[in-house]
Amino acid sequence: MASRGRRGVPARDGEQRRDEPRREDQGEQQAPAPQGPVLPPPPPVDYGVFMQGLVQAMQTQAHTQAALQAQLEDQERADVWWSSLLRTRFEDGAVEVGWDEFEGEMEQYLEEKKASQKRPAAPFQRQERKKATFQSP
Integer Cα distance of 106 and 112 in angstroms: 10
pTM of the prediction? Answer: 0.33
Res 132: pLDDT: 56
Eight-state DSSP code of residue 134: -
Res 110: pLDDT: 84
Integer Cα distance of 1 and 12 in angstroms: 13
Integer Cα distance of 115 and 88 in angstroms: 39
φ/ψ of 10, rounded to 5, equals -60, 140
Q: pLDDT under 70 in the chain at which residues?
A: 1-34, 88-100, 119-137
Domain segments of the chain: what residues? 47-116
Integer Cα distance of 87 and 101 in angstroms: 19
Provide the CB-side half-sphere exposure for 48 (13 A, CA). 0
Res 118: pLDDT: 75
Q: Any residues with CB less than 8 A from the CB of 17 and at least 6 apart, and which? A: 3, 4, 5, 11
The string of DSSP letters for 41-84 reads PPPP--HHHHHHHHHHHHHHHHHHHHHHHHHHHHHHHHHHHHHH
